[in-house]
Amino acid sequence: MNRITKTIVSIIGIILAIAGLDHGIFEILQGNAPTEGLIIQAIGPNHQMWQYGTEEAFTLLPTYLLTGLVAVSLSLALIIWSVGFVHKKHGATVLGLLFIGLFLFGGGIAAQVMLAPFVWAAARHINRPLDWWRKILPEGIRPGLAKLWPLTLALGSIFFLIGLFIAITGYVPGVTDDESILTVCWAFVFGGGWGMYLLTYVAGFAADIQQNT
């Protein structure tokens, strides 16, 4: 088993589950109101903190309450699966199904579309030889690259969670313009979080190759 890849997948899976939980909790707070369409705003007017703080989501369910309950349940299941079962047989398949479920039932759009596919792809390598990565990662850079994964994983998680906080609250110290706040938010989520996570996967593969050599 590629243990470092497993660790990376588990931690990022938990981070994405937190994003699903945040959507689900705010949906529950909107009560048993009809969703009135496939695209909804997880944060309703009574809890919205800034112009763009609506947390858009997709749902196939008829009410906010039901959508939120399912999103929270799937998020908790994702945490449990990421920690205890993602390395088991069919681990990556179930992980992918949980991500799809979160997308379909109120767990958010951006994280599930932009980040989840890479977590699933990495999960498929937990119990597979890294022969392809061994070929494309020159032997000379593997040791240095392998040392990066704890740092890039930590930075990616911090950046993503800061971006999630800004998306909900609209709070950026010293910034009051909503358009600027939105730019900062996306910079943290995708420029920082997504970018660092991509590097983390590669560094993790390099570390597993080093350990298994």
CB neighbour burial string for 104-129, b if at least 16 within 10 angstroms, e if fewer = bbbbbbbbbeebbebbbebbebbeee
Report d(CA 152, CA 136) in Å as an integer.
20
If phi > 0 it is left, if psi is from -120 to 50 it is alpha, else beta; for residue 77 that is alpha
Identify the pLDDT of residue 176. Answer: 93
What number is the average pLDDT over the span 44-60?
96
Average pLDDT score over the chain: 96
Report d(CA 98, CA 22) in Å as an integer.
16
Tens digits of per-residue pLDDT, 181-193? 999 999 999 889 9
Identify the pLDDT of residue 74. Answer: 98
Going by pLDDT thresholds of 50, 70 and 90, the confidence category of residue 59 is: very high
Check pLDDT > 80 for residue 129.
yes
Q: With beta carbons less than 8 A apart as the criterion, state whether 73 and 105 touch.
A: no
What number is the average pLDDT over the span 103-123?
95
Tens digits of per-residue pLDDT, 60-102? 999 999 999 999 999 999 999 999 999 999 999 999 999 999 9
Check pLDDT > 90 for residue 150.
yes
Report d(CA 20, CA 17) in Å as an integer.
5
Identify the pLDDT of residue 192. Answer: 92
What would the two tokens of residue 126 be? 């937990």
Going by pLDDT thresholds of 50, 70 and 90, the confidence category of residue 212 is: confident
Identify the pLDDT of residue 194. Answer: 94
Report d(CA 25, CA 48) in Å as an integer.
13
Report d(CA 192, CA 175) in Å as an integer.
19
Check pLDDT > 80 for residue 213.
no
Q: Hey, which residues does 143 pair with through a beta bridge?
A: none
Q: With beta carbons less than 8 A apart as the criterion, state whether 53 and 43 touch.
A: yes
Report d(CA 61, CA 4) in Å as an integer.
37
Contacts of 153 (CB under 8 A, 6+ apart): 8, 11, 12, 196, 197, 200, 204
Check pLDDT > 90 for residue 36.
no
What number is the average pLDDT over the span 34-42?
95
pTM reported for the whole predicted model: 0.95
| Domain ranges for the chain | 3-212
